[in-house]
Structure 1
Amino acid sequence: MYYILFSVLTFLSTCYCSVEKEENQDDCDLLKQWIESSSVSVELNKKGFHREVITTVELGPDGLSDIRVLLVHRWPRGVFVDPYQLASLSNQSDWQILLDSAIDLEVPAHETSGFVTYVYPSHVGPANRLLKVTIPVHGRYHEPSFVGKTFTSVDIEPPELLLRIEKCTQLNSFEPHAVVEARCTVNSSSTCLWVKIQHHQQELGPTSFQLPVGDGSLVTPVCGGTLLVTLSCCVALSKYLWKHRLI
């Protein structure tokens, strides 16, 4: 009796594992299709120091509802994002964003370094194959130029596009795409394995815009003129106060 019961349980367990493995393989095959057919593009909006980086993600074929998307932006030191502004936008949008470090809004470009943001779109599925994420960025003040240059270029690299399906755990056959580790969600401290699409990043070049820089050759005359005007105003004010017996 026990032998029969054990045999039945073993058979059911084997069938369950076989079905589960087949379903996982189907999910991995679907993920491969999405990887090969998905793309990302970047454009800039607005002018001056305050810009908008619009990232458009075109996802793969229909029929996949549990796909997870992650956009990893690696920003140069010439720009910054306002965390408070991003928090308000995330509450009104269908995406959430995570910063890898604290952002100092005041320091100039040459005294800071780049940073990374992780953008998690909230609603991805057959009805949302086209995703758009608009991130406001602000230019930092740059160090004055001593060679007569009046503008400097800031290059915005396209984000890395990462995809995953929870049921697909066999990620060792996705070459040439790399498998990387990142947070599963914006609110979770646990990490998951994501497939990073490689070839789209190689085809896309950086998107650039110009920011004005100061003329370093004018530092001495401007400082000297400012000091002279300040001293002249102090002398004139002192004479006025002495003449009217206010001191």
Structure 2
Amino acid sequence: MYFTLFYPSVLTILLTCHYLTVKGENSCATLKQWLQSTAISLEIKNKGFHREVETTVELQPGAFRDVRVLLLHTWPSGVYVDPYQLAFLSDTVDWQILVDSAIDLEVPAHKTSGFVAYVYPAFSEQTPGMLKVRIPIHGRYHQPSFGGETFESIAIKPPKLLLRTEECSQLDDLEPHMVREAPCNADNTSMCLWIQVQYERPGDETLRLPVGDGSLVTPVCAVTLAVTMICCLTLSKYIWKHRIV
């Protein structure tokens, strides 16, 4: 009686383990194919100090069903993202963002440092296998130039692409791709293992922002001081003439 009950249970467990093992191996094999067919591009839109960085990710069609995607942006000190704007846009976009540090909107470029942003996009049923993320960025003010330069060039690097799937656990067999830890989602409540995809990265995009002419600091200050003194004298004379108390 005991053997009769025990044998089917053992057989069920073994079949389940075999099924999960085969399923996991198939998922890892499928993930390898997805990694080989991944492409990414970067484009800067708009002009002036307020731009949009559009990132396009292409995966093999059908790969999006069991895969999470993470874009790891490393931004230079010359630009920033506005957390208030991002919060306002959160209900109208199909991606979430997590910034690794507080953003000061008023600090000039030479008094701040760069930051890292984790972007979690979602696939659309209209464009399976393709992701498009447009992140609004803003240029910071730079120190005036004393060498005659009227623009400051800022290099915007393409993001690192990270993938994660629950069904493939043999992540060490996915070389040359690298395993690294990153937040599981934009809530930043836990860390997960992600595959950092080694792909042929496109070149950096260059953002050009106007800067002040440092050689004009002295004459601008002198004119400003002169205008201020003339206005004060004129106003004082008017007050004295009309006995305004």
TM bucket (normalised to shorter chain) is: over 0.9
- Amino acid corresponding to residue 11 of structure 1 in structure 2: L
Structure 2's unaligned 5+ residue stretches are none
1:225 alignment partner, one of 223, 226, 229:
223
Partner of 1:246: 244
Answer yes or no: is the 8 Å Cα contact 1:34–1:61 preserved in 2: no
Answer yes or no: is the 8 Å Cα contact 1:68–1:165 preserved in 2: yes
Residue deviations 1:80-109 (CA, integer Å, cap 9, x gap): 111121122221121111111111111111
Cα separation, 1, equivalents of 2:213 and 2:63:
57
- The SS at the match of 1:26 is helix
Change (3 A) 1:125 1:163: farther
What's the Cα RMSD here? 1.8
Cα separation, 1, equivalents of 2:17 and 2:156:
47
Structure 1's unaligned 5+ residue stretches are none
Partner of 1:82: 82
Shift of 1:232: 1.6
Cα separation, 2, equivalents of 1:208 and 1:131:
22
- Amino acid corresponding to residue 211 of structure 1 in structure 2: L
Cα separation, 2, equivalents of 1:195 and 1:217:
50
- The SS at the match of 1:179 is strand
Within 5 Å, give how 1:23-38 maps onto structure 2.
Answer: 23-38=23-38
Change (3 A) 1:124 1:178: farther
Shift of 1:187: 2.8
> Which stretch of structure 1 is more off in the superposition, 1-10 or 187-196?
1-10
Q: How many residues align?
A: 245
- The SS at the match of 1:246 is coil
What TM-score, normalized to structure 2? Answer: 0.93
Within 5 Å, give how 1:10-159 maps onto structure 2.
Answer: 10-62=10-62, 65-123=65-123, 128-159=128-159
- Amino acid corresponding to residue 216 of structure 2 in structure 1: L
Cα separation, 1, equivalents of 2:50 and 2:146:
25
Runs ≥4 residues deviating over 4 A: 124-127
Identity percentage of aligned residues: 56
Partner of 1:164: 164
Cα separation, 2, equivalents of 1:188 and 1:212:
36
Shift of 1:127: 5.5
Cα separation, 1, equivalents of 2:162 and 2:172:
15
Partner of 1:216: 214
- Amino acid corresponding to residue 191 of structure 2 in structure 1: T
Answer yes or no: is the 8 Å Cα contact 1:183–1:189 preserved in 2: yes
Cα separation, 2, equivalents of 1:209 and 1:171:
37
Shift of 1:10: 2.8
Cα separation, 2, equivalents of 1:211 and 1:110:
14
Shift of 1:205: 1.3
Cα separation, 1, equivalents of 2:191 and 2:152:
38
Answer yes or no: is the 8 Å Cα contact 2:82–2:105 preserved in 1: yes
